[in-house]
Structure 1
Amino acid sequence: MSSAAHGPAPPPGPAPAQPFSVLVASDAWRAEVDAWVHDRVEEGGRRITGPLDQRRIRPWSTQIVVPTDAGPLWFKANCPPMAFEPALHDLLATLTPDDVDRPFAIDADRGWMMTTDRGTTLGESHEPTLEDWQAVVTTTAHLQRVAADHRDEVLATGVPDCSPSTVPHRFDVLLERFATLPADHPTHTDADLVARLTAVRPRIVEAVEQIDASAVPCSIQHGDLHPWNVFAVGGSLRVFDFGDVQWAPVMEALAVPYGVIADEGRLPWEPVRDAYVERWADVADARTMHALWEATAFTQPVNRTQTWWDAIAGATDDEVAELGSYPLQHLSRVLDA
């Protein structure tokens, strides 16, 4: 999904033989899944009590509810660029079981996973409060601090390496791809926008150098962190939905919380940011962390663009028409940094 730290990014892979959303709706694929699910449920000491319900199909994943005599399970399959999620989820549950539930079963090679139903998410249970948001980001900070010492294990699952040194070249590759797409493609970039984005590149390089010079490590960056991707379990939180994870500057994880809170306009942002920053107080002071937060305004849009590019790489024409503008929208956020 990403470039090596000091080498060129790989060219786009061959187009998949079949769009992901078409594949996972096929009878043949469902038959494979049904057989795997039945075997894993039986091995886990449960019994399936009804038909499997495929609740959602998107270009990047599908979810199926599995009813059992001990409560429902959730099956999830990801598109190839995000198929690392089951192995990563299992690794994180081993490293920090207080923050991540262990999957019920995984097939790392196929990117398949079943997890135990935990009921409603924190965000579904009530309108998230300031304290809820603070708990979400501080739980994530703890998870990141644990994972930071396990870089090789995380990357071995297939998580994209989006560490700072990879960002400028990723920016170049993405911009070139966008500029060479057909003019009617939703992510085509005209010459004027290419020029404006190119002019920002020196600031991206400066941000990368600033982040690299700090003592704050890279770690997992959730990519879609909010209370709807967290369960409250016995007085603590469990984070899930790791399909967008990258190995990246840790403060990039605050981008989605900031975006949600700013869009809603109900809650102040600074107490949420500061609760997260406090969890790194022994590594860097608040002033340094605030400066790094500002720097990630240049790196996170580039890395997030890669996620969206990969998410729709195997999409149908209709899905591209619906979602194809998102990569360019994210890359263009560097203009506002």
Structure 2
Amino acid sequence: MPAHDLFSQTVATEDWRQEATHWIDEQLAAAGRRRTGDVVQRRIRPWSTQLVAPSDHGTVWFKANCRSSAYEPAVHLALSELEPGEVEAPLAIDADRGWMVTADRGTTLGDSHDATLVEWQEVVELAARVQRQVADHGTALLAAGLPDCSPATVPARYAWLVDQLADLPADHPSHLPSDEAASLRERSGVVDEAVRTLLAAPLPASLQHGDLHPGNVFVVDGMMRFFDFGDAQWAHVLEVLAVPYGYSTRVTHHPWPALLDAYATVWEDLLDRAALEALMVPAMVTHAVNRSFTWLGAIEGAQPEELAEWGDSALYYLRLTHEPFPPEDPENGP
């Protein structure tokens, strides 16, 4: 089995932790810092692991990504150069290995308290502003490794995913039965139509954070800053609203129209709020395809116990391609 297929096993070994610790020490020294205590591994997932280390200039976080999201450090650095007010630069990256060290910024907005409606509105509005600001910098972000999941690329990705999930072992949680695979192929026109609608509208492709919520936001000197770009893509801008929509309807129960209002204000010179809301329908089709793609990479080397928890995610999102939006059952939405 290729080494990248053993990510969560590899990063649990003492040899790997020693290698990562040595790299952390080297990067701290280069930044004029010194580690002052033991390195602690906070968690291991099939897609990433985090180590925490105390230093004489405060706590630092180390993150290592699996193969499919190894682009994150280089993309994070590129975004910090494009948007220094919204994305803080990492202390160090190793783009080849998908490693990164960042300064601790305390408790996230979402972990400090249940974010208010106003704070949620600020998060989605800030995301929209960043999208507008980096929309002309796709070349730089794609060169950093950000996956190109723009609308024109989605039909081919949909067909590829159907084939990939159909080829998974029958006992894999995301295995696509042959009859369902045939049905999804026959219904590919839904994806094609969604793409045509998005391409005919004035909203662009840009940064799609992939996991936009207050838990991925720090407040630094009164200003919000995003982090955690391991699920990020270059995609239609409205796809970024899938996660806020899910939180609004299933977790926080803040009114979704109020969140959409805040996001829409940033684009009101291009189209009105009603037209933007209508575009959510095709955007959630392309989002479902692109999210399935993210999950398939994330579980590539998952172990049996990890597959039991997350293994059906790629299939779940591919099926959402053909679910109505807004969903008839809000508990089963994007």
The TM-score, its normalising length taken from structure 2, stands at: 0.93
Q: After superposition, give the CA deviation of every residue in 1:262-284 in whole Å (9 maximum; x if it has no partner).
A: 10253100110111111011222
- Residues 321, 16 of structure 1: alpha-carbon distance in 2 compared, 3 angstrom cutoff: farther
CA distance in 2, matches of 1:17, 1:294: 36
**Conserved in 2, the CA contact under 8 Å of 1:200 and 1:334?**
no
Give unpaired runs (5+ residues) of structure 2. Answer: 325-334
Other-structure match for 1:68: 55
**Conserved in 1, the CA contact under 8 Å of 2:4 and 2:66?**
no
CA distance in 2, matches of 1:88, 1:265: 30
Which of these residues, 86, 89, 107, is aligned with residue 99 of structure 1? 86
Q: Percent identity?
A: 49
3-state DSSP class of the match of 1:62? Answer: strand
1:298 is displaced (CA, Å) by: 0.8
**Conserved in 1, the CA contact under 8 Å of 2:73 and 2:94?**
yes
Which of these residues, 101, 110, 114, is aligned with residue 123 of structure 1? 110
Structure 1 stretch 236-245 or stretch 100-109: which is displaced more? 100-109
Structure 1 stretch 303-312 or stretch 109-118: which is displaced more? 109-118
3-state DSSP class of the match of 1:335? Answer: coil
CA distance in 2, matches of 1:157, 1:147: 14
1:299 is displaced (CA, Å) by: 0.5
Q: After superposition, give the CA deviation of every residue in 1:215-243 in whole Å (9 maximum; x if it has no partner).
A: 21101111111000001112210000001
Q: After superposition, give the CA deviation of every residue in 1:50-85 in whole Å (9 maximum; x if it has no partner).
A: 000111111110100010122100000101111111
Query: Residue 246 of structure 1 aligns to which amino acid in structure 2?
Result: Q
After superposition, where does 1:149-228 map in structure 2 within 5 Å? Answer: 149-228=136-215
Give unpaired runs (5+ residues) of structure 1. Answer: 1-13
Other-structure match for 2:25: 38
Q: After superposition, give the CA deviation of every residue in 1:198-229 in whole Å (9 maximum; x if it has no partner).
A: 35421211110011112211011111110000
**Conserved in 2, the CA contact under 8 Å of 1:15 and 1:314?**
no
1:167 is displaced (CA, Å) by: 0.8
CA distance in 1, matches of 2:4, 2:199: 40
1:190 is displaced (CA, Å) by: 2.0
3-state DSSP class of the match of 1:115? Answer: strand
**Conserved in 1, the CA contact under 8 Å of 2:166 and 2:175?**
yes
Other-structure match for 2:277: 290
1:319 is displaced (CA, Å) by: 2.0
RMSD: 1.5
- Residues 284, 15 of structure 1: alpha-carbon distance in 2 compared, 3 angstrom cutoff: farther
Which of these residues, 9, 18, 38, is aligned with residue 51 of structure 1? 38
3-state DSSP class of the match of 1:19? Answer: helix
CA distance in 2, matches of 1:133, 1:199: 39
Which of these residues, 310, 314, 318, is aligned with residue 331 of structure 1? 318
3-state DSSP class of the match of 2:322? Answer: helix
**Conserved in 1, the CA contact under 8 Å of 2:4 and 2:67?**
no
Other-structure match for 1:8: none
Which of these residues, 186, 211, 227, is aligned with residue 240 of structure 1? 227
3-state DSSP class of the match of 1:193? Answer: helix
